[in-house]
Structure 1
């Protein structure tokens, strides 16, 4: 008997080796929470319709092709056949699994099982656990296993972020197990992870870190998940190997090096650091994740809870790009910030995490799905007077379509949480909780935010003593929260930003009434500029302006179809509030008979006098304003003159531009099919650049053959750099940078011979190639101009 116990102990050693970090609270399974009628349930049902509209065989085609099997249909287009083939298939498997858990709809389970059966066929044919739709992936991985690594921020061995791509199917398999209950998915996931161990077994740490310069999603997170479900230390070791030290090490020291970084490349890495800390018990990595969260939430986010401009973290003291750009906060960023917030809350259930979660959920995530047609949003511009673009099921396969498919399946994940016998009520969303382990049903009835109340009906099978923790949100005034139990007001200890604890013996039919009075407040743009957003309670308010010139409102299949490329209205023609700062909230007046609708006074020019503020999540298919500029009467006159000149110059430049690339920025370069060899990218004074000791090139479009010159932006302090510029293989110019212009940016125009344009058939491959022993660039902007 002692020998058997010893054998059992030896078998358990891998599990015991995982010194898991203590989790202070637990989330309920999605299957334990059901949404009632609300904007969230409406969004979930619209998402389900979108899911059902997609053809599984077309999503599966890349996997079958890479396994050498005959696909049953052709790939979808857009990002699904231009290098990221298969990435939506992984998201889709995650969405099916979560939607099945959240609704119990058998159609989701049937689709999940079909996807798994076809993916398993592919994995079995591959024979080594590998499973992916990365085009030509097997050759890439063979080279990498042999140490042949050529990594850039958005490429690896000349392929578009293949590590990021395979992360999506890793995550899909994990979700099919964790949410869909598929043991088959678990086995497929473990086999695929064993393949990854073999992939890097002969690589040094330096080689792996070099490889991780390429965007790789949350591979470290999913490998830590595999460690947790198997209890095997080797998978935790793999997770640590796939943790990018260039990002982790500064965070461990509480240093902020985020400015200029591609935002959604970094957030999944940090989720992985936190997950590794949970599984392996490393508190310093958990602290690094907390520091990152505080930095992004407190210093880099706008009022809707989103972050980034053109996908990159901007300087904390300069939000000008947020106001001027049509490419505002990216949905994927907030998808991942909510994952990180969930992790941090469960480790340390503080109200600040749920306050942010609520803000981002209502004002960004909920707003990124068109409620009737179900289209998903990539960028949410903060530029006054601009608009969003919505995806369509058979044309649009961006990253934010993938995360969008998942976003609206999991609204029930943190409405409630529990710790032992204690129950947390975090969000005021109509729903039913079936706490199976406790034998308790809780029903929440509310019309929040249209009504400032919520009622909880508590129905244990038998009388039960436990503590009910109710979030006292930061957006409420002190002493504003009122609580009644069975009709009697109760006294409690607690203030905004804390949980109110109600400990008692609960019986079936007990009722808790919450009064949640909201007030209107303003938030200034975080860099101190004179732009202000209005919130009522946690809800960001916005104003519709007009519905004109919204080109590409529903996206086609073009590479840049996710960008709202229609006319950008001059900022000096957008509504301005003429009032002192301390009077702003007094200018917001409720509109009688319209819940959550307000009139904003003192707007100029007069044509905006009748604008109404409504919840941004209800504003769709329209141009809008979230951030309003505030000026005095004298400042308004001065601004009109200055801004009119600036906007006219910008408009003239845009009119003269045929195509444009911002080197060093991930999506603009990917959209222009970058090719490169021995190249680097970085940021100077807030502007991204690319240079090379080899070469790099972009494919620009001139479909009307109207281009006449190439305008390049340089930095005046760059010196001893000699290179040539060519178009379609014909030399355009030899360039020498000597540093004589000092620390400022400047532009040079190069005339393009008409003969090149005529022969080009609308496509111009612009190449920057270093002279032997020198450097090409830095190049800060590549602008194709009309004749």
Structure 2
């Protein structure tokens, strides 16, 4: 069973989308081009909008960062004097250096999107410094990641590769011989170097770094047999297969293609080539870049199985594993297909996942245009990526919590955290114009209704897209200039949720053919012509995959959420529910221009105001609701509210909580163990100990009577173990299929003599002989309820 420990945990240790019909091959040739390509990012300039603001906030953020601080480890590990102190957070851990690759990409994309000259200067400086570092190593190596030895000493990450080449390969999923995801780290660097070439201009120095580093990595792989490579690839490697596919495409050297195809994790990718969904309990963002790499390889090799895996993965994730905002995963991991309703938590939707799913979508659309692909793209881009940035200082979320009352946690203004989602955030908010306009076979395709101006080189044309969508359903495309006038198709995406649409040319109703999710107007176009699409922005409800009773509210492409108050305030009310027969009839517009609605007699315990989810960066919100008829509510109300009250009461009385099986909580609680393993089951992390072993950790205590609560799965086969506090046994627990089909909690009184005068105690789980202890899916210490005096 896959160990559920996320990268965040490692260090700090959708609705059913009914519009997303599977892109059908039958659509090809029905008025749409066979293939398509996006306008270059440099050809698009954003007009004022939330998107344009996000770019400008991000540009200020990028220019606040210090290239020399990001280069610190690269310099130090090359034997050169660092020019500035290292950043904190992840840049001070064994993944150090990963941010520099993201930063290079962000600088290049920001230059393409805005023409920022400062970004070009910084990018060229960094490439020059990387070349210095690589030359100092003398063997092609260049990196900023470090290695933590068994004694805790932190050294140059280069130290692990001679061990690996001897066949000494040790990985725990994210750790490779004491270094955190080194190949993932290099994938980010490669992408940054290639983005410099693509968006700033030819750069021989960048390509020389890429080739030299490729030689070093190639020698590591060449020393291993195929079985050893698979062991090594059990450690997250990002999209390193994509990196070498790109290096082959840019150099023509077949050795890079051979290496790209060897970077193939059979355990995860083989089922996808066979169209089998075995994603449950796999770390989500570890997988997405692998599929992007297969998509890029397919574009080079034409191998059908590479495309099959990429398409099938996209279909399964978007239709069966995604939340209403387009994001996926709970605590970084996929759950079972169609189980979203069971995983609406404060750890949903890692932002990196959506960044990568949008990349994969662009590949699939380029192969065969289909509006269903961009129905997903629009949803995730608008509702998740736009929510990903704090729009004042430019910080980024790691997770996008969808649990009612949860608040978003953004990185700080000066960026000391440097999570993976900070890196992808730098990129995402540098390129909001990249997917608006596409072309193929002389067809102009408008995929996103984002206000912008663009240059269409092939027709010597300048386009303007005027809209305030998604707050108004109208968008007008105008040919401001059309040097090569003539007859050609203009395809405007009609979202799958739109029950109707209207197309006008030069202000008058026009006939449009329908194909593949587009309204297509073919005529002789000239400068000054315009075409308008009008879409209805109706309210609608969407259920989660697999649970018709758990619903979300949308208006056109916007996910709406109930406003539960300021993020810096408290929210301690019962989880809101919807009660009634005709739920949408209870919504009344408050300000339609900003998509604000209020409910009347709908929400229990009290009505709420609904607003666009992505704008609630400093608010608490509710996205998902259980729905009940009046009759159902009378039956459910007591149990529903009682459970909410129990959970709130338990949280209020909690003194300390231990999330077993998660790296950072286990580190924070000084966990020690022997013959003990983290594990995951039914979406919950835990830990067990086998015969002769134990696991022990510290917990904070306070004066007075305390209870120790442990969580178990109710279908365990028989086993017996002891629970000790400061080496004193407080309970012996036997598990024997106690509560089939559910998790359950057991409370153990802690004698006050064991906690008196102490700030912390040690809690230990020890199996009886020929038994195991647990698995235990979390431990909590909380105060005993004080009974009222007579």
User: Considering the TM-score relative to the shorter chain, is it more than 0.5?
Assistant: yes
Computed over aligned residues only, the root mean square deviation of the Cα atoms, in angstroms, reads 3.5
Q: Note closer, same or farther for the CA distance 1:443–1:745 as it changes in structure 2 (3 Å cut).
A: closer
Contact in 2 for aligned 1:543/1:614 (Cα 8 Å): yes
Unaligned residue ranges in structure 2 (runs of 5+) = 1-32, 148-156, 785-790
- Residue 37 of structure 1: CA displacement? 0.7
CA distance, structure 2, for counterparts of residue 104 and residue 23 of structure 1: 32
| Equivalent residue, structure 1, for 2:645 | 648
Q: Note closer, same or farther for the CA distance 1:172–1:726 as it changes in structure 2 (3 Å cut).
A: farther
| Equivalent residue, structure 2, for 1:476 | 498
| Equivalent residue, structure 1, for 2:150 | none
| Equivalent residue, structure 2, for 1:30 | 41
Contact in 2 for aligned 1:158/1:675 (Cα 8 Å): no
| Equivalent residue, structure 1, for 2:12 | none
- 1:188-207 pair list within 5 angstroms: 188-207=209-228
CA distance, structure 2, for counterparts of residue 411 and residue 116 of structure 1: 25
Q: Note closer, same or farther for the CA distance 1:701–1:192 as it changes in structure 2 (3 Å cut).
A: farther
Decide which moves more: 357-366 or 508-517: 508-517
- Residue 35 of structure 1: CA displacement? 0.8
Q: Note closer, same or farther for the CA distance 1:456–1:152 as it changes in structure 2 (3 Å cut).
A: same
| Equivalent residue, structure 2, for 1:526 | 545
Unaligned residue ranges in structure 1 (runs of 5+) = 1-21, 551-566
**What SS does the corresponding residue of 2:211 show, helix, strand or coil?**
helix
| Equivalent residue, structure 1, for 2:562 | 543
Q: Note closer, same or farther for the CA distance 1:742–1:615 as it changes in structure 2 (3 Å cut).
A: closer
Contact in 2 for aligned 1:723/1:770 (Cα 8 Å): yes
1:600 maps to 2:599: yes
1:447 maps to 2:472: no
- Residue 731 of structure 1: CA displacement? 9.9
**What SS does the corresponding residue of 1:195 show, helix, strand or coil?**
helix
* Match among 227, 232, 254 for residue 211 of structure 1: 232
- 1:628-639 pair list within 5 angstroms: 628-639=625-636
TM-score, with structure 2 as normaliser: 0.84
1:429 maps to 2:440: no
Q: Note closer, same or farther for the CA distance 1:756–1:112 as it changes in structure 2 (3 Å cut).
A: farther
Contact in 2 for aligned 1:724/1:731 (Cα 8 Å): no
Contact in 2 for aligned 1:531/1:629 (Cα 8 Å): yes
Decide which moves more: 288-297 or 624-633: 624-633
- 1:606-755 pair list within 5 angstroms: 607-608=606-607, 611-664=608-661, 682-690=679-687, 702=700, 712-715=710-713, 745=743
Q: Note closer, same or farther for the CA distance 1:652–1:584 as it changes in structure 2 (3 Å cut).
A: closer
**What SS does the corresponding residue of 1:207 show, helix, strand or coil?**
helix
Structure 1 residues 469-513: Cα deviation after superposition (integer angstroms, max 9, x where no partner): 2212212124x22232x3443212216x52233333322222222
- Residue 666 of structure 1: CA displacement? 6.7
1:333 maps to 2:344: no
Q: Note closer, same or farther for the CA distance 1:776–1:516 as it changes in structure 2 (3 Å cut).
A: same
**What SS does the corresponding residue of 1:151 show, helix, strand or coil?**
coil
| Equivalent residue, structure 2, for 1:558 | none
Contact in 1 for aligned 2:393/2:413 (Cα 8 Å): no
Q: Note closer, same or farther for the CA distance 1:696–1:32 as it changes in structure 2 (3 Å cut).
A: farther
| Equivalent residue, structure 1, for 2:143 | 132
| Equivalent residue, structure 1, for 2:103 | 92
**What SS does the corresponding residue of 2:403 show, helix, strand or coil?**
coil
Structure 1 residues 513-534: Cα deviation after superposition (integer angstroms, max 9, x where no partner): 2222322211112232523211
Q: Note closer, same or farther for the CA distance 1:635–1:95 as it changes in structure 2 (3 Å cut).
A: same
- Residue 142 of structure 1: CA displacement? 1.9
Q: Note closer, same or farther for the CA distance 1:770–1:228 as it changes in structure 2 (3 Å cut).
A: farther
Q: Note closer, same or farther for the CA distance 1:320–1:507 as it changes in structure 2 (3 Å cut).
A: closer
Decide which moves more: 76-85 or 738-747: 738-747
| Equivalent residue, structure 2, for 1:8 | none
| Equivalent residue, structure 1, for 2:190 | 170
Q: Note closer, same or farther for the CA distance 1:700–1:356 as it changes in structure 2 (3 Å cut).
A: farther
CA distance, structure 1, for counterparts of residue 120 and residue 395 of structure 2: 23
Contact in 2 for aligned 1:522/1:532 (Cα 8 Å): yes
Q: Note closer, same or farther for the CA distance 1:701–1:98 as it changes in structure 2 (3 Å cut).
A: farther
| Equivalent residue, structure 1, for 2:423 | 402
| Equivalent residue, structure 1, for 2:319 | 298
Structure 1 residues 336-383: Cα deviation after superposition (integer angstroms, max 9, x where no partner): 111111111111110000111011111111112122222212222222
Contact in 1 for aligned 2:341/2:547 (Cα 8 Å): no
CA distance, structure 1, for counterparts of residue 188 and residue 724 of structure 2: 37
* Larger relative contact order (CA 8 Å, sep ≥ 6): 2
| Equivalent residue, structure 1, for 2:10 | none
- 1:17-56 pair list within 5 angstroms: 24-56=35-67
Contact in 1 for aligned 2:68/2:82 (Cα 8 Å): yes
Decide which moves more: 739-748 or 656-665: 739-748
Matched residue count: 738
Contact in 2 for aligned 1:475/1:518 (Cα 8 Å): no
